[in-house]
Amino acid sequence: MREFTHKTIIALAFLFAAVQAEDVDSLIVAFSNPSQPGTVKADMIMGGIKVKTHAGREVIILSKGNDDVRRLVVPAMNFSTLFVHGEKEENKDAPDPEKIKGLQKIQSSHFGINVEERNNVIEINMPPMSFVHQNGNELEIIVPKQTSLQLKSLTGAVQVEDVIGEIEVEAMGGGITLRDVGGTVIANTTGDIEATIRNVAGKPMSFSTFGGDIDVALPANLKADLKLKSHGDIYTDFDTSKRKIARDKAEKKSDDGYEATIEQLTEIPLNGGGQDIEFTNFSGTIYIRKLK
């Protein structure tokens, strides 16, 4: 049996009162090899994700039902008619008004979450039918400081604080906020991206949004090559005297015809250049700041 650290037990003692006071499900999951940095993967259909750190080695997962989460518009389905042959029957899912007279409707369960741990990787998922019933969960994950993350949210925002590792975030229905993180970052969203990166691992990084702003603070002495694609404005307090405009041409020929695409790219070497950091947006502003 895996033993929990004293620091984890103390942290849980502080969380216990809050969990009891609200509609919160909680789990503690140990990595199979806690002496090495692990990976946490979370995939949420309905709801946002928050990640912060603690001094323990385990991962603490808190899942709270949230009816205010932005909901997917799903066509109503009468499952009782799926196996009826011939003429379609009337919707039998609607309750009989006489049967519910004088009764109060109670919100049904939020279907919970699924959690698995294998080979130092913890995977957290919502059951597949949760989105049909339009229930949302807010997921809070408390991890060791040295942890890699792969986070996806279809309808909510994603927030990460104080984590060092390989961080991949995709948020299709909300913004991405990364506070005091380190390592490498790949962030993709339709909303805003705000990131403060304290130290960088020397690997390529990218920040991409379709309809929001990108605001990233990087170490002042970082050696990197910025590659920017934007239809909006770009602001920075880094030295841009060596910036240049590059053009990337892609051609495709086939029996049916010819297609060519030319993309214009702004390149800015920082402190002599180094790892590639890509910034892409289509209708917002890019801010690249020196970390204070």
- Per-domain residue ranges of the chain: 24-73+111-152, 175-292
Average pLDDT, the chain: 82
Residue 146's pLDDT band (cuts 50, 70, 90): very high
How many Cβ atoms are within 10 Å of 233's Cβ, its own excluded? 10
> Tell me, what's the pLDDT at 182?
98
- 265, 227 in Cβ contact below 8 A? yes
Reported confidence tier of residue 278, pLDDT bands at 50, 70, 90: very high
Count CB neighbours of 86 within 10 A.
5
Task: State the pLDDT at residue 128.
Answer: 60
User: Could you report the per-residue pLDDT of 29-71, keeping only the tens digit for each?
Assistant: 999 999 999 999 999 887 899 999 999 999 999 987 655 444 4
Q: How large is the average pLDDT for residues 217-234?
A: 95
Residues 6+ apart with CB under 8 A from 105: none
Classify residue 7 by its DSSP letter. H
Q: Which residues sit opposite 139 in a β-bridge?
A: 49, 63
Rounded distance, CA 34 to CA 57, Å?
A: 6
Name the residue with tokens 């002599």: 272
Q: Please give the torsion angle defined by the CA atoms of residues 62, 65, 70 and 75, in that order, rounded to the nearest 10 degrees.
A: 130
Residues 6+ apart with CB under 8 A from 1: none
For 134-144, b/e burial (b = at least 16 CB within 10 A) is ebbbbbbbbbb
Residues 38, 6, 144, CA angle at the centre, nearest 5°? 25
Q: Please report which helix (H) or strand (E) contains residue 21, including its range.
A: helix 6-21
- Mean pLDDT within 124-141: 68
Helix (H) or strand (E) holding 166: strand 164-171
CB 263, CB 212: distance < 8 Å? no
What is the pLDDT averaged over residues 77-82?
39
- Token look-up 């909680």 returns 26
Q: Which pLDDT value is given to residue 239? A: 95
